Homo-oligomer: A and B are copies of this chain.
Amino acid sequence: MSQALRPEAPAVDSSDAALRARARAVIPGGLWGHLNVAKLPEGYPQYFTSAEGCRLRDTDGREYIDFMCSWGPIVLGHRHPVVEAAARRQAEQGDCMNGPAPVLVELAELLVDTIPHADWALLAKNGTDATTACVTIARAATGRRKVLVARGSYHGAVPWCSPSLAGVTAEDRAHILTFDYNDIASLEAAAEAAKDDLAAVIITAVRHDYAAHQDLARPDFARHLRELCDATGAALILDDVRAGFRIDLGGSWEPLGVRPDLSAFSKAIANGYALAAVTGRDRFREAATQVYTTGSFWCGAVPMAAALATITELRRINGPARMKAMGERLRAGLDALSRQYRLPVRQTGPAQMPLMIFDNDPDWAKGDAFCVAALRHGAYFHPRHNMFLSCAHAEADIDRALEAAEAGFRAVARG
């Protein structure tokens, strides 16, 4: 340890470029994970100084209307006053203590009250914590090992499910079998291969794989999945980490009338505070007590207070309907621009989680040019990952973003 104390003030040059240069020295690859903009075209800022509502400000002072919402967590808008007030009230009492605060009980009761399949809830910090706990609980409850996963679906960033195979051993995935999303025949084939060792099927609420059009779950496929699990005793695990609290507050497959046995939630659950949840049916309650799942901060009260406020507010204002309406306004505007500029696009996914991909754009040149131009005009879109609406997006914000999008279409039209 060097004994010299560092000055408290940050370095003078805090531009994005200067921060990236400093980061490259002390962080592998400049940044870990999904927020690293290395794979995005030049023009995306890496660092941000502030955020409010549906607006973000980067370190060079540029402001953007935000359509990533921190890749999902921000569902009411950045720094939402109701959530911030609830979090601050709890922080003024205590956060990480030797046990939970009473807010834990209120939150667990609210989750059970809000989510029809949920007889119980347990909390964690990461979406990966929740999906991993679901799989482990399913194995403990069934005494079986095989887990069916849709090819290409993202369920987290640990060896059993990571999109990278670096450091992953064959054994980490020894009991993972794959099927194709929305394809009953491939699901049946995978279930058959699992024989009497089928512990669970885990599936994202929407097919929202990276760099591909989204697919909503087909109702007949979802029902078939439910029937398969009922017939075999396997757990139907809904990975609602990304879609949860945007499509339906009761769980994203409620509109389909298909209820899972276990669900994994995170991202939007607390409007940006670090929290995840597993919810489950009574049949899995005993297994959930046997599985040891915990973390140093999992009883932290402030994120729970934020979640209580977030979900209560989402119910009060019917957040999913509001986000859907604004998402549809954005989608209609983009479609009109696409026609106007004769640049065909395909828009997929729930309106609350939009994705627009240009036709005939194999190397993403159009999508990248669109996004870079839109960024310059003040809208933060993503060319190949689904985007997110929040309840802070109002009509005027969408209309303003469509002006930026028009600059994007113009840039693509120019070639």
A interface with B by C-beta (< 8 Å): 1-2, 5-6, 8, 10, 14, 19, 22-23, 25-29, 31-35, 37, 45-52, 56-57, 59, 66, 68, 70-74, 78-79, 84, 91-106, 108-116, 119-123, 125-129, 132, 135-140, 145, 157-159, 162-164, 166-169, 171-172, 174-175, 241, 248-250, 254, 266-267, 272-274, 280, 285-300, 303, 312, 315-316, 380
Taking CB as reference atom, which chain B residue is nearest A294?
B33
- Complex-state Cα separation, A288 to B33, whole angstroms: 11
Cβ-defined partner of A294 (8 Å) among B157, B174, B315: B157
Report the separation of the CA atoms of residues A105 and B11 in the bound assembly, to the nearest whole angstrom: 10
Tell me if B68 and A98 are in contact (CB < 8 A). Answer: yes
Do A84 and B91 touch across chains, with their CB atoms under 8 A apart? yes
Which of the residues B57, B102, B163 comes within 8 Å of A49, measured between beta carbons?
A: B102
Given the complex, which residues of B lie within 8 Å of A171, measured CB to CB? 171-172, 174-175
**Least Cβ distance of A318 to chain B in Å?**
10
Chain B residues with Cβ below 8 Å from A70 are 96-98, 296
Using CB atoms, name the residue of chain B closest to A145: B169
The answer to whether B297 touches A272 (Cβ under 8 A) is: yes
Given known A-B contacts A35-B100, A299-B35, A23 and B166 have beta carbons under 8 A apart: no
In the complex, are the beta carbons of B94 and A51 less than 8 A apart? Answer: yes
Check B22 against A105 for contact (C-beta < 8 Å): yes
Known: A47-B101, A98-B66, A254-B1. A139 touches B167 (CB 8 A): yes
Can you name 23 A-B residue pairings with CB atoms under 8 Å? A1-B116, A5-B315, A8-B312, A14-B102, A23-B104, A25-B120, A27-B121, A29-B289, A33-B295, A35-B298, A45-B99, A50-B94, A51-B94, A74-B96, A128-B295, A163-B292, A164-B290, A164-B291, A167-B290, A167-B291, A171-B174, A267-B296, A274-B303
Other contacts beyond A22-B109, A56-B97, A79-B91: 5, CB < 8 A:
A10-B102, A50-B93, A72-B296, A73-B296, A135-B167
Choose from B94, B292, B296 the contact partner of A126 (Cβ within 8 Å). Answer: B296
**Closest B-chain residue to A309, C-beta based?**
B8
Give which listed residue, B26, B74, B287, contacts A108 with CB less than 8 A. B26
Contacts A84-B91, A274-B125; A139 near B169 (Cβ below 8 A): yes
Q: Please give the count of copies of this chain that the complex contains.
A: 2
| A126 contacts across to B, CB distance below 8 A | 125-126, 129, 295-297
The answer to whether A166 and B380 have CB atoms under 8 Å apart is no
A97 to chain B: closest CB distance in Å? 4
Interface centre among A116, A145, A171, by most B CB within 10 Å? A171
The 5 lowest CB-CB distance pairs between A and B, nearest first, are A33-B294, A96-B272, A140-B167, A136-B167, A1-B250
Q: Is the CB of A94 within 8 A of B49?
A: yes
Chain B minimum-CB-distance residue to A302: B273
CB-CB < 8 A to A120: which residues of B?
A: 25-28
- A164: B residues at CB distance < 8 A: 290-292
A78 touches B97 (CB 8 A): yes
Cβ of A183 to closest chain B Cβ, rounded Å: 26
Q: A79's contact among B35, B94, B105, by CB below 8 Å, is which? A: B94
Expressed in whole angstroms, the Cα–Cα distance for A162 and B129 within the complex equals 13
A163: chain B residues at CB < 8 Å are: 292
Once the chains bind, are A298 and B33 in contact (CB under 8 Å)?
Answer: yes
Query: Which residue of B51, B56, B296 contacts A71 across the interface (Cβ within 8 Å)?
Result: B296
